[in-house]
Amino acid sequence: MFVKEEIRQSFWFNLVVVLVVSTVLYILFFISLGWITAHGKELKIPNVTNKDMKSAIKTLEDMSFDVYVDSTYDPKLPSFVVMSQIPEVGAVVKSGRTVFITVNKKMPPLTPMPNLINLSFRIAEIQLKNNKLVLGDTSYQPDIAQGAVLKQLINGQEIRPGQMIPQGSRVSLVIGDGLSNVQLNVPDVVGMAYPEAVALLAGSGLIYTTIISGEITDTATAVVSNQSPKAMNEAGTANHIKEGDIIDITVKQEATQEELDDNRGGKPRSDNNTP
Would you say the pTM of this structure is higher than 0.75? no
Pick the closest to residue 213 from 247, 246, 258, 254 (CA basis). Answer: 254
User: What is the chain's mean pLDDT, rounded?
Assistant: 83
**Residues 6+ away with beta carbon under 8 Å from 147:** 120, 121, 175, 176
Which CATH number applies to 110-176?
3.30.10.20
Cα(63)–Cα(20) distance, rounded to whole angstroms? 41
Helix (H, G, I), strand (E, B) or coil at 240: strand
- Per-residue b or e along 52-68, where b marks 16 or more CB atoms closer than 10 Å to that residue's CB: ebeebbebbeeeebebe
Give the rounded distance of the alpha carbon of 86 from its chain centre.
26
Asked if the domains 42-104 and 183-263 are classified in one and the same CATH topology, the answer is yes
Beta bridge partners, 164, equal: 112
Q: What is the pLDDT of residues 22-80, one digit of tens each?
A: 777 767 666 655 555 545 568 888 999 999 999 999 999 988 899 999 998 887 889 99
The confidence score (pLDDT) of residue 3 equals 47
Specify the pLDDT at position 184: 85
Q: Distance between CA 75 and CA 131 in Å, rounded?
A: 11
Compute CA 4 distance to the chain's CA centroid, rounded to the nearest angstrom.
92
Reference 84, options 95, 98, 70; nearest CA is: 70
Query: What is the SS3 assignment for 62-120?
Result: HCCCEEEEEEECCCCCCCCEEEEEECCCCCEEECCCEEEEEEECCCCCEEECCCCCCCE
Please tell us whether the domain made up of 183-263 is placed in CATH 3.30.10.20: yes
Beta strands in the chain (DSSP E): 42-44, 66-72, 82-86, 92-94, 98-104, 110-112, 134-141, 149-154, 157-158, 164-166, 170-176, 183-185, 207-212, 223-228, 240-242, 246-252
Architecture of domain 42-104: 2-Layer Sandwich (3.30)
Q: Which of 64, 49, 61, 147 lies closest to 101, judged by CA?
A: 49
Domain ranges, ordered by start, for the chain: 42-104, 110-176, 183-263
Amino acid (1-letter code) at residue 135? L
Q: What is the pLDDT of residues 158-204, one digit of tens each?
A: 999 999 999 889 999 999 877 667 788 899 999 999 999 999 998 88
99-114: b (≥16 Cβ within 10 Å) or e: bebbbbeeebeebebb
